[in-house]
Chains A and B, each alone.
Chain A
Amino acid sequence: MTDAPAVGQSTARSDARSKVTGEARYAFDHAVPDMLFGAVVRSTRPHATIEEIEKDQALAIEGVAGVVTAQDLGDLFPRFGHLIADHPILAIDKVNYMGEPVALVLGETIHAASDGADAVVVRYSDLPVMADMETALAEGATLIHPATYPKGDSAFEEAITEPRDDNVAHEASLEWGDVDAALADAAVVVETTVKYPKLYAYAMEPYNALSTVNEEGLEVITTAQHPFMVRDDLARIFSIPLSKVRVRSPLLGGGYGSKSYTKVEPLASVGSWYSGRPVKVALSAE
């Protein structure tokens, strides 16, 4: 009927050749002139107050261009998150999980940034650990977040609204029919608890982002599956129009869902905003 050469024939992928020659460039492979590298200092405590972050030893290392913490973010909106913006870019006064970013060290080379990160000293005071759901939901459990955060469109507002009294992030309900009646009427009722282990999809390309923030706006090259969501988070952080934020996802080295939502783009972006230069943050698989 029509000239449809692709139908009924085996057709090579349009990008296969560039992938087998090594020419294909992933976000991981990008670099720009004048770029700084960002190395993340992460929390070694599961739940703790940050007493002090010592930058001096890091700043004394040759090639270290700066050390960014939450206190350096000025008027920037300090959190991101798709449904609820409850994810601090850099830990604010306390850490809520092992590995939470506490500081971003900027270096002229990846080595300088890494050596700087090794040299940052953080002092913590431990808070009660709630390592499972039951403990976190129990009566009188220590609050992890200081107050509620607005959701959806109102998340663009900065103000934290009300104090909270539990650790429930969000409740959603999906229901139809009369469940109680159905259960009462059933011949047999089976109840069970299912536990899932943590899963990591392990896309071969590590998380990474290369961000440039200047008067014209923000451009980030990143391995993101949902670039529009990332754009929204970044626009909110910097209080700039969506049209001034450009998110480029050139080619992903795997995702499978693990690269949905915003990851290290805010870190790279605040690094660039702080230093006035492009900043690349690339994590290891660890």
Chain B
Amino acid sequence: MTAETSIEIRPVVNGMSHTSIVKPRVTVAEYLRDYLGLTGTKTSCEVEVCGVCSVIVDGLPVSGCAALAADLDGKTVTTVEGLATGDTLSHLQQAFIETFATQCGFCTPGFLVMGTALLAANPQPSRDDVMEYLEGNICRCTGYRPIIEAVLLAAERMAAPQ
């Protein structure tokens, strides 16, 4: 079989279908930021330990810096820009504002995505669960506590009867 140098992908990103042609070397983070203009997802360490590039692909948390855009064909991607519903912020986004979980904010999209993935898999996490799940995300400003509080606050609100 021949090796391909140009791959056509049809992902659905934050609910919108795209058709793109990418070279194999293009990472998911590059695709989102440079091809689609979705700069909410960041890059920093580029070795999968800091989490600023976190996105959700087919329900699973993925490091955008270490995943190939070529693998996105037919997949559903959620980035920080896709967490709100119209103008209504998600419970987690709202909680981040209230607990002051964002200072410089560069790590915020990654934490929001990972927090969202956690709450989808485990709607009532313990504090330990939250701390363990977020151990792949680095924040250099807040000292982490307000971020953990935000996730627990969001979990509480999501469980409350509407």
Contact = CB atoms under 8 A, between A and B. Distances in A.
Contact of A21 (B80, B104, B141): B80
Interface centre among A29, A204, A254 (most CB of B within 10 A): A204
Contact of B39 (A22, A206, A284): A22
A205 B102 CA distance: 14
A131 interface: no
Interface string A12-40: 11011101111111101100000000000
Nearest to B90: A20
- Interface residues of chain A: helix, strand, loop or mixed (majority): loop
B64 to A, nearest CB: 13
Nearest to A258: B140
B138 interface: yes
Which has the most chain B C-beta neighbours within 10 Å: A201, A251, A284?
Answer: A284
Contact of A22 (B79, B100, B104): B79
B141 A16 contact: no
A21 B140 contact: no
B98 A12 contact: yes
Interface in A185-232: 201-206
A241 interface: no
Contacts of A28: 42
B40 A23 contact: yes
B50 A204 contact: yes
A16 B44 contact: no
A159 interface: no
B96 A16 contact: yes
A22 B102 contact: no
B106 to A, nearest CB: 3
Nearest to B87: A21
B81 interface: yes
B63 interface: no
Interface string B53-87: 00000000000000000000000000111011000
A29 B39 contact: yes
Contact of B42 (A15, A110, A205, A251): A205
Given A24-B105, A203-B104, A253-B104, A17 B98 contact: no
Contacts of B112: 20
A111 B140 contact: no
Nearest to B105: A19
Contact of A13 (B44, B46, B97, B109): B97
Contacts of A19: 102, 105, 108
B102 A204 contact: no
Contact of A20 (B25, B97, B139, B141): B97
A174 interface: no
Given A15-B105, A17-B89, A204-B104, A254 B97 contact: no
Interface of B: 23, 25, 30, 33-34, 38-46, 50, 52, 79-81, 83-84, 89, 93, 96-98, 100, 102, 104-109, 112, 138-141
9 contacts: A12-B98, A16-B100, A19-B102, A20-B93, A21-B89, A202-B140, A204-B106, A205-B104, A285-B44
Given A16-B102, A24-B105, A253-B42, 15 more contacts: A16-B97, A16-B100, A19-B108, A20-B80, A20-B105, A20-B112, A21-B93, A110-B30, A204-B42, A204-B44, A204-B50, A252-B104, A253-B105, A253-B106, A285-B50
